[in-house]
Structure 1
Amino acid sequence: MRRRLAVVVLAAAVAAGVPGCSGGSGAEVVTVLGSWTGDEQAAFQRVLDGFTRETGIPTRYQGTRAQNQVLRGDLQQGTPPDVAVLSNPAELAGYAKSGDLKPLDDVLGAEAAQAYSSQWLKLQQLGRGALYAVVVKADLKSIVWYSPSTFTGPEPATWEALLTTSRQLAASGQPPWCLGMGAPPNSGFPGTDWIEDILLHRAGPRVYNAWAAGTLPWTDQAVREAWQSWGELVLAPGAVRGGSTAALLTSFADAGRAMFTPPPGCVWEHLGSFAIGGYGAFPGPPVPDRDFRFFPFPGAGAGGPSEVSADLAAMFHDTPAARRLMVYLAGEAGQRIWPSGGTTFSVHRRLVGPDVYRSDVARRIATTLAQGTDPCFDASDLMPSAMSSAFYQAVLEYLAHPDRLGTLLDELERVRRGIDPEQWLDLPC
């Protein structure tokens, strides 16, 4: 009934010549801002095209890596996009607090509660009790990739087993880890994922949540041990292909390429589920299940907590057409389009079957994301931008100068103390 009403209201607005409606097409254009460019933009455009086919409402998408700066500028000028897609819930929570975001409870209604698990609903509420965002796509980060032709098991299920097997591979002359830190403007983020996963699974969700929410000092022993554990694994002689210097100079998108070369240059890669799309672009290309698989990060399997990330769509301009787009992005039809290639993942609980995901690898990831009971959101994406930027930089400096860890943690703690407590987002697992 709500969707029919939206159509009626939209039609009336067009007929009346309401400002903002396109005179050429006869329908209001929905403007969308996102960070996706290139192939990702083309994939998201297919979602928007599906919306236009269903509703007749045209869209105009702007993709830019400077998304946050563009959005802030648009808001200051009073010309925000109708919808924006961000990966940082803390940024969105700030916009909700300032009144720039429009609540979605009366837009999405009870359908959202049926489509998403309670933890994903909590994320979409941005810690404020009302629904403010829709997860457009998500990634599972607590995984380690490998080629079954190179690594024949057993898959390490504990940190001790992971460390032992890593040392054995290095001793045999086979670098265990593919590692690349390059990701402008966020170079260093693959290292933050490492430290987050280690802290989550070695110190537990309670400690992880306190750290992500800004109430646990960076100088806390649990945080320090997470950095040291990562260093013990990847800074050991022979652990990383080319050593830490090569890791600093290698793009995260290229690091895993060495898994598939003859002979393989590395055995494992700790990278989120988005890696599937990157692997598919390598020569060959490698095929999931046959050429690459994954095992859960030690502690994440058998129902344990998993680190996740997501891109969230939010409404900045409340129009009938924008409401229709939010309904579409949250619904089964819109959520089905992008994952159809098996490289992007929905958290919609009804979209986990073989009709959506063609490989066992993709279905396992989709099931964990949509039905997992303990998703813990990427800590650096929950942190205020000043904190996450400092975190990225500290990772790079640690790989170059591991003896400076104490100084780096002191500097990160000074950044934390300098941030207004109101800027932090408390979103427990």
Structure 2
Amino acid sequence: MKHARRIAVPLGIAGVAALALTGCVGDAPADPSAAPGGSDAPAAAGCEAYTDYGTFEGAEVNLYGTILDVEAERLNESWAEFEECTGIDVVYEGSGEFEAQINVRVQGGNPPDLAIIPQPGLLASLAGTGSMVPAPEGVVANAQEYWTQDWQDYGTVDGTFYAAPLMASVKGFVWYSPSVWAENGWEIPTTLDELDEVTAAIAESGVMKPWCVGFGSAEATGWPGTDWVEDYVLRTAGPDVYDQWVAHEIPFNDPQIVAAMNRVGDIIKNPEYVNGGFGDVSTIATQDFGEAGWPVTENECAMHHQATFYEGLFPEGTEVAEDGDIWGFILPGTEADAAAVTGGGEFVGAFSDAEEVAAVQTFLSSAEWANIRVSIGGTLSANSGLDPENASSPLLASAAATLQDPDTTFRFDGSDAMPGAVGTGTFWKAMVDWVSGADTETVLDQVESSWPQ
């Protein structure tokens, strides 16, 4: 969700990486699903990297997702050359009501050709309707080449691989102003206890509120709150408990989850600590997440908790650098140097087996596309073919390295991996109720009772 820098991307290295999967330039594909195409027409000048996708003059592929505004513009930019070289018109439609409307469209017999699905749980639900098409061979090959088994598993339902990942984000970043922190002598915390201490010190200073927070996101309102809880469950209870919780091998309202959520509440339900730039605690429930971190740039709050993609949502002209307007540190663990992070991503699934649809789906799973999109700015990919140097800031480059580091304990966003009725339903709603005044045990009991039997 799930975000100004424009960098021209030479196709040399990325193009070679993609072509290694599909054969030599000019070879006719033995299987259209392995290297989508269907035309022997020669490639246009400068389009050699796209030859094996084929040419489909006048073809249209519609793509539906949650990505909006400037991020939608960047998405369209990422496949512009692909469109020119293949003749496929990729028509993207973004919606703030995607999670509800994709089900309506599928049930009504009017699904898109492709969907950018932000939750593995929702992907599983859609695949369960029988309406999705298994990934073509080209996508399978790219996934096996460029994505870890964990990422492949998130796109697999009942043993069938449907969708390769698209973009990725490292969650749990805390965004702050380096100059403001330096002026006030605030030190970057290395543990959660130290984070509590600096939060209290900022509040006591009276300079500004420590935190600005926003859960608003149209039909998806509440999801930023689930990120807080997931980050704290992973850090305080550990990855094994996190996995058990997501898989419902322990109750949703297990005491360890209660403890983690209460620790979040100690920060974001404390009127002394929030909501800088917006008002009191009650404003969290409705404040749009896309602008919730802007008070950091206006010296109205000291910290904002949000994923790496938020770099692309700060006001135009904001410099993200260690000595710039904004920088970030990863939410620490209970001990210093803990290497556990949560993250998210999207998955491109198909509802049509047309060759032009397979061509687009395969391109979006390639290292070539990942490098193009990351170079445009504001996002990341966990694609192993990504050159971190293509990231639009040093912070995103470091986050890309974190994703690729085998020593990192990475866990996918918990609510996204849960069954849709919970992860994008009762859990989201519970966070709104909770920040609006309900107690922790009550909302967690409600989510537990909603888990599908």
What is the aligned counterpart of 2:433 among 397, 402, 423? 397
Query: TM-score by structure 1 length?
Result: 0.85
Cα distance in 2 for residues equivalent to 1:59 and 1:292? 34
Match of 1:195 in 2: 229
| Aligned-partner SS, 2:169 | strand
Cα distance in 1 for residues equivalent to 2:251 and 2:319? 42
| Dislocated runs of 4+, deviation >6 Å | none
User: Are the aligned partners of 1:30 and 1:82 in contact in 2 as well (CA < 8 Å)?
Assistant: yes
| Aligned-partner SS, 1:339 | helix
User: Are the aligned partners of 2:62 and 2:92 in contact in 1 as well (CA < 8 Å)?
Assistant: yes
Cα distance in 2 for residues equivalent to 1:68 and 1:249? 19
Match of 2:280 in 1: 243
For 1:201, give the aligned amino acid. Answer: R
Match of 1:55 in 2: 86
Cα distance in 2 for residues equivalent to 1:4 and 1:27? 21
Once the two structures are TM-superposed, the CA of residue 384 in structure 1 deviates from its matched residue by 2.5
Match of 1:166 in 2: 199
For 1:246, give the aligned amino acid. Answer: T
For 2:288, give the aligned amino acid. Answer: S
Match of 2:169 in 1: 139
Match of 1:259 in 2: 296
The total of aligned residue pairs comes to 400
**Alignment partner of 1:344 is 2:379:** yes
Identity of aligned residues (%): 27
For 1:359, give the aligned amino acid. Answer: S
User: Are the aligned partners of 1:105 and 1:131 in contact in 2 as well (CA < 8 Å)?
Assistant: no
Match of 1:216 in 2: 250
Once the two structures are TM-superposed, the CA of residue 237 in structure 1 deviates from its matched residue by 4.5
Specify whether residues 208 and 362 from structure 1 end up closer, same or farther in structure 2 by C-alpha distance, changes over 3 A only.
Answer: same
User: Are the aligned partners of 1:280 and 1:286 in contact in 2 as well (CA < 8 Å)?
Assistant: no
**Alignment partner of 1:181 is 2:209:** no
Match of 2:45 in 1: none
User: Are the aligned partners of 1:145 and 1:292 in contact in 2 as well (CA < 8 Å)?
Assistant: yes
1:18-60 Cα offsets, whole Å, 9 max, x none, are xxxxxxx844322222222332222211233232123222223
Cα distance in 2 for residues equivalent to 1:141 and 1:8? 34
1:261-301 Cα offsets, whole Å, 9 max, x none, are 2xx111111111121111143xx534443121111111298
Question: How is 1:27-426 mapped onto 2 (pairs within 5 angstroms)?
Answer: 27-104=58-135, 106-126=137-157, 128-152=158-182, 153-173=186-206, 174-240=208-274, 241=276, 242-261=279-298, 264-281=299-316, 284-289=317-322, 290-299=324-333, 302=337, 304-354=339-389, 356-371=390-405, 373-388=408-423, 389-402=425-438, 404-416=439-451, 419-420=452-453
**Stretch of structure 1 that moved more, 38-47 or 156-165:** 38-47
Query: TM-score by structure 2 length?
Result: 0.81
| Aligned-partner SS, 1:10 | coil
For 2:330, give the aligned amino acid. Answer: P
Once the two structures are TM-superposed, the CA of residue 11 in structure 1 deviates from its matched residue by 3.0
User: Are the aligned partners of 1:177 and 1:266 in contact in 2 as well (CA < 8 Å)?
Assistant: yes
Once the two structures are TM-superposed, the CA of residue 8 in structure 1 deviates from its matched residue by 8.3
Specify whether residues 184 and 336 from structure 1 end up closer, same or farther in structure 2 by C-alpha distance, changes over 3 A only.
Answer: same
Specify whether residues 335 and 412 from structure 1 end up closer, same or farther in structure 2 by C-alpha distance, changes over 3 A only.
Answer: same
Once the two structures are TM-superposed, the CA of residue 141 in structure 1 deviates from its matched residue by 0.6
Listed as ranges, the gaps of 5+ residues in structure 2 are 1-21, 41-55
User: Are the aligned partners of 1:342 and 1:362 in contact in 2 as well (CA < 8 Å)?
Assistant: no
Cα distance in 1 for residues equivalent to 2:144 and 2:76? 26
User: Are the aligned partners of 1:46 and 1:337 in contact in 2 as well (CA < 8 Å)?
Assistant: no
1:302-351 Cα offsets, whole Å, 9 max, x none, are 46221111111012211211111121101122222222233011212232
Specify whether residues 180 and 168 from structure 1 end up closer, same or farther in structure 2 by C-alpha distance, changes over 3 A only.
Answer: same
User: Are the aligned partners of 1:181 and 1:251 in contact in 2 as well (CA < 8 Å)?
Assistant: yes
Once the two structures are TM-superposed, the CA of residue 239 in structure 1 deviates from its matched residue by 1.0
Cα distance in 2 for residues equivalent to 1:343 and 1:134? 20
For 2:283, give the aligned amino acid. Answer: A
| Aligned-partner SS, 2:349 | strand
Once the two structures are TM-superposed, the CA of residue 77 in structure 1 deviates from its matched residue by 4.3
For 2:435, give the aligned amino acid. Answer: L
Question: What is the alpha-carbon root mean square deviation over aligned residues?
Answer: 2.5
Specify whether residues 4 and 346 from structure 1 end up closer, same or farther in structure 2 by C-alpha distance, changes over 3 A only.
Answer: farther
1:91-127 Cα offsets, whole Å, 9 max, x none, are 111233343222226233444322123322222335x
Once the two structures are TM-superposed, the CA of residue 233 in structure 1 deviates from its matched residue by 2.1
For 1:97, give the aligned amino acid. Answer: G
Specify whether residues 294 and 29 from structure 1 end up closer, same or farther in structure 2 by C-alpha distance, changes over 3 A only.
Answer: same
**Stretch of structure 1 that moved more, 74-83 or 331-340:** 74-83
